[in-house]
Structure 1
Amino acid sequence: MWGLFAVHISVIVVFLILGGVVRKKKGYWLISGFASRPKEEQEELIRNGYPQRMGGLLIITAIGMLILLPLMFTSFKYAMEVQFGFMIIFLMGGMIYLTKYEVPKKRKRSYVISISLFIVIIGGISALSYFSYQGYELVAKEESFEITGMYGDEWNYEDITSIELMEKLPEVTVRTNGVGLPTLSKGHFKVRGYGSSLLYIQKGSSPYIYIELKDKKIFINDKDPEQTRLWFEQVSEKAELTQ
Structure 2
Amino acid sequence: MWGLLVVQLIVIFIFLILGWAVRRKGGYFLISGFASRPKEEQETLIKNGYPQKIGGLLIITAIGMLILLPLLFTTFKYAIEIQYGFMIVVLMGGLIYLSKYEIPKKRKRSYFINISIFIVVIGGVLGLSYFSYQGYELVTKEETFEITGMYGDEWGYKEISSIELMDNLPEVTVRTNGVGLPTLSKGHFKVTGYGSSLLFIQKDFSPYIYIEMKDKKIFINDKDPDQTRLWYHQLKEKKK
- Matched residue, 1:156: 156
Question: Distance in 2 between the 1:60 and 1:128 partners?
Answer: 27
Q: CA deviation at 1:214?
A: 1.2
Letter in 1 for 2:68: L
- Matched residue, 1:2: 2
- Cα RMSD after superposing both structures: 0.5
Q: CA deviation at 1:173?
A: 1.1
- Matched residue, 1:218: 218
- Matched residue, 1:185: 185
Question: Distance in 1 between the 2:73 and 2:192 partners?
Answer: 23
Cα offsets for 1:83-105 (capped at 9, x unmatched): 00000011000000000000111
Letter in 2 for 1:226: D
Question: Distance in 2 between the 1:130 and 1:115 partners?
Answer: 22
Match runs of 1:1-243 below 5 Å: 1-240=1-240
Letter in 1 for 2:191: V
The SS at the match of 2:223 is coil
Letter in 1 for 2:78: Y
Question: Distance in 2 between the 1:108 and 1:14 partners?
Answer: 30
Letter in 2 for 1:19: G
TM (norm. structure 2) is: 0.99
Letter in 1 for 2:107: R
Letter in 1 for 2:156: N
Question: Distance in 1 between the 2:149 and 2:85 partners?
Answer: 24
Identity among equivalent pairs (%): 78
Q: Which runs of 5+ in 1 are unaligned?
A: none
Question: Distance in 2 between the 1:204 and 1:162 partners?
Answer: 24
Q: CA deviation at 1:170?
A: 0.8
Cα offsets for 1:50-88 (capped at 9, x unmatched): 000000000000000011011111111100000000000
Letter in 1 for 2:97: Y
Letter in 1 for 2:93: G
The SS at the match of 2:43 is helix
Question: Distance in 1 between the 2:236 and 2:216 partners?
Answer: 17
The SS at the match of 2:34 is coil
Question: Distance in 2 between the 1:6 and 1:133 partners?
Answer: 25
Number of aligned residue pairs: give it. Answer: 240
Cα offsets for 1:90-139 (capped at 9, x unmatched): 10000000000001111111111100000000000000001111111101
Question: Distance in 1 between the 2:75 and 2:211 partners?
Answer: 31
Cα offsets for 1:166-211 (capped at 9, x unmatched): 1111111111000111111000001111110000001111110000
Question: Distance in 2 between the 1:32 and 1:25 partners?
Answer: 17
Q: CA deviation at 1:215?
A: 1.1
Question: Distance in 2 between the 1:119 and 1:88 partners?
Answer: 11
The SS at the match of 2:32 is coil
Q: Which runs of 5+ in 2 are unaligned?
A: none
